[in-house]
Amino acid sequence: MLGPPWTTPTPAAYLRTSPPPRSDDEPDLGEQRRLIERYVEANELDEPDWYVDEDAAGDDLERVGLRRLMTQAQDGEVSTVLVAQSNRLSTRLADVLAFIERYLEPSDAPLVSVTERFNTGTGRGRDFLGMLRSFSSLAVPRSSDSDDAGEEADRPRPSDRRWEKAEAGEHVTGRIPFGYRQAESGRLRPDPDEAPTVRRIFRLRRGGKSLRAIAERLNDDAIPAPSGGTWRASSVRYLLQNETYYGYRTYTIDGETVTQDVPHLQIVDTDG
């Protein structure tokens, strides 16, 4: 997919650390960044845009930074994706393969793992990628592999109405995220009572406060958690990983996931 004519695709660098306790051999955010910066300098690449998920599980794709990267790549705004290790994208091989096929291959953007010396933009990298696909029984099949692909696409979805509502900006699946309320039209909008708490949580986290310390502050101020009870470190982490606060929304219907730009729902400034 090509971006708008005025868009010049740029490199993208993705960093992720696992929730504690982490293994001793996992590079922290600083080390991952240094590895990528050395690669960028050695290969004379443009300065990349950085996408970061801290304390995020590798088998959970609902991450703010990763979803932002997916949106930019889907819009054709990414020329290369750089990671320190491929498992920073996901600890599941099937997810890495699906990411490459769905978000990078349509715009010929390679994935580069700088420590594994893996570059899908080279002949060796493409051969290795083919080998991974052949060995992975979980790899997502290409649409061209099926003679029925066109016929399948023409069949109506059983949840067409839900798709229409979702694409119109209405809330159709799951619980309404903390910080939003549902208007009579069915569309979400920022909740003036809860949105300031969302901004406060992000501000405290960016200021270096731990998840537990943030939860304790909210409980001290008698602010109800999304569940109506008390805040915990896990509930703070879950909120911090919600991309909707940045103006991106992801929904999944019948196993198909789509990410949208929803600037009217942005509560938190992406620049910090």
Is pTM, for the whole model, over 0.85? no
Instruction: Kindly write down the DSSP assignment for every residue of 21-41, as one continuous string.
Output: SPPTTS--HHHHHHHHHHHHH
Query: Phi/psi class of residue 191: alpha, beta or left (left: φ > 0; alpha: ψ in -120 to 50)?
Result: beta
| pLDDT score for 153 | 42
Question: Token digits for 208?
Answer: 């270096």
pLDDT at site 111:
94
User: Which two three-digit tokens encode residue 56?
Assistant: 């995020």
Q: Could you give the angle at the alpha carbon of 56 between the alpha carbons of 241 and 29, nearest 5°? A: 110
Which residue's structure tokens are 């592999």? 145
Kindly state the helix (H) or strand (E) to which residue 99 belongs, with its residue range: helix 93-99
- State both tokens at 153: 């696409």
Question: 3-state class of 89 per DSSP?
Answer: coil
| Integer Cα distance of 7 and 271 in angstroms | 20
Amino acid at 10: T
Distance CA 2, CA 214 (A): 41
Q: How confident is the prediction for the chain on average, in pLDDT?
A: 80
Q: Give the up-direction half-sphere exposure of residue 203: CA atoms within 13 A in the CB hemisphere.
A: 9
Is residue 198 very low, low, confident or very high in pLDDT (cuts 50, 70, 90)? very high
Percentage of residues in the chain having pLDDT higher than 70: 76
pLDDT 10s digits, 124-142: 777 777 777 765 544 444 4
What is the bridge-based pairing of β-strands 111-113 and 78-83? parallel
| Residue linked to tokens 């992720």 | 16
- Contact by Cβ (8 Å): 176, 272: no
> What are the residues facing 83 on neighbouring strands?
14, 113
CB 98 within 8 A of CB 29: no
Least confident residue range of 48-52, 54-58, 64-68, 139-143: 139-143
The closest of 95, 64, 101 to 238, measured between CA atoms, is 64
pLDDT of residue 240: 86
Give per-residue pLDDT as tens, 143-178: 444 444 444 444 444 456 666 666 666 666 667 889
pLDDT number for residue 203: 93
| Domains of the chain, first to last | 10-144 (3.40.50.1390), 160-265 (3.90.1750.20)
pLDDT value for 168: 64
pLDDT band with cut points at 50, 70 and 90 for residue 221:
very high
Are 86 and 94 within 8 A, CB to CB?
no
Could you tell me what percent of the chain has a pLDDT over 90? 31
